[in-house]
Chains A and B, each alone.
Chain A
Amino acid sequence: MGRDRNPYRLGFVQVVAVSETDERAEKEFAKHLQAHYRSGPGAIPLTAMAVPGYAEPAAIEGMLRSAGHGGMLARLRTATYKELVDSQVAIVGSPATVADQIEAFVREFRIGNLMVMLQNGSMPRDLTEKSISLFAGEVLPRQWWPRAHGTAGAVTGAAAGRQA
């Protein structure tokens, strides 16, 4: 009684790219991620973002403010790799860097359903496959999920998926 049975209910989508080291990640992913944000989200015309009937007034207002001078959408059009990574718009680096950052925000924002986007922009197939393999093999096994009530151990991403 009085206890939140499952506080981790939020779903969240995160762009992620993993390489062997932080330095190598920058070398491999920088141009592809820049291309993704500059010609993707940053380039969508507002009329396509705010079609009548699809977003609440507060959300439309937020998009309009964000598209204006100095707003997030406007800034994406010229975003640099450093800005994207420092702000964690994209989480990029070695498996350890990526896992640390994901764990921190998953716990802070109590995210229970994390979706990762591992192919973005102009990223080629071989690089994408490497990023997916490193994510699955070295990041995902990290025990960042909260301990489930009534179980001894932590629930991993894969185990949580089977339970659902």
Chain B
Amino acid sequence: MTTGSVDVRDETVEVWDSRLRLHVKIAGDGPPLLYFHPLMGLSWSPWLDQLAVRYTVYAPEHPGTSPGDPQAIREVQTFWELLLVYEEAIRKLGLGPDRPAAIGQSFGGMVAADLAASFPQVFSRLVLLSPAGLWRDDAPIPLMEMVAGPPEELPKYVFAHPESEAARAALALPEDPEQIPKAIAQSIWNTGCTTKFAWPIADHGLDRRLHRIQVPTLIVWGREDALVPVAYAKEFGSRIAGSQVEVLDDCGHAVQVDQPARSWTAISRFLGA
């Protein structure tokens, strides 16, 4: 497992009739791979460094979540517009002909899955890490409880072991106390920008489009996921023809944090195959 840090550069793509400058973090070398981040925004983790060893990782920042450009979210009114923004950005990044692989996590999983269903030619392979996007009344997703609840309860929704060093590191605040309010404000704003398309129920009819996904798909889930219950693994799996479902034991919503080695093995084996 390589976790050497790589150079991450920031590129902006002008899209949406020039109304939006989408920020994309890019790192690494090799064939292109898109990463769609979860609810609270993109944080460049060691896990993405690992991917960057074999791939050129393109990680777009959801509109409004890029520091210094909060109002960008105003330009995107519906989830369908968000999908169109990303489809255009992928073309403008010059990735169209290469058909990049895509990994989508949680909220980003909903984005990646719907892109793959709406535009079947855009990706070559798809990895969904505990994606949102479906709803079952008997398996509610406590999004509202997590987002509007006390911040000290957030980790229990995201990690199987909230007290672990890895979980603490994943939610670590800046060391400089002066920077802490800015960092918290950014993550609250980011959550507002993403929940704009996920509140209170992240269901835009994806269940009726998933059958359109034509590419090899891997679905990874933590058995102890306290945010998007593992029951949804089978919902995604049964709707995407030929997909593989990998359920990890002793694992919560953030699969790479709770089970770094086993999730990495599953993902890298699938992408390399």
Q: Footprint of B on A, CB under 8 Å?
A: 45, 47, 50-54, 56-58, 60-61, 64-65, 68
Contacts and interface: CB of A to CB of B under 8 A. Distances in A.
B46 interface: no
Contacts of B196: 53
Given A50-B185, A52-B188, A61-B184, 16 more contacts: A47-B149, A51-B147, A51-B148, A52-B147, A52-B191, A53-B192, A53-B193, A56-B189, A57-B186, A57-B188, A60-B185, A61-B182, A61-B185, A64-B181, A64-B185, A65-B181
Interface string B175-202: 0000011101110110111011001000
Interface of B: 70, 147-151, 180-182, 184-186, 188-189, 191-193, 195-196, 199
A65 B188 CA distance: 14
A53 B199 contact: yes
A47 B181 contact: no
Contacts of A58: 185
Contacts of B199: 53
Contacts of B151: 47
A82 to B, nearest CB: 29
Contacts of B191: 52-53
Contacts of B192: 52-54
B181 A53 contact: no
A48 B192 CA distance: 14
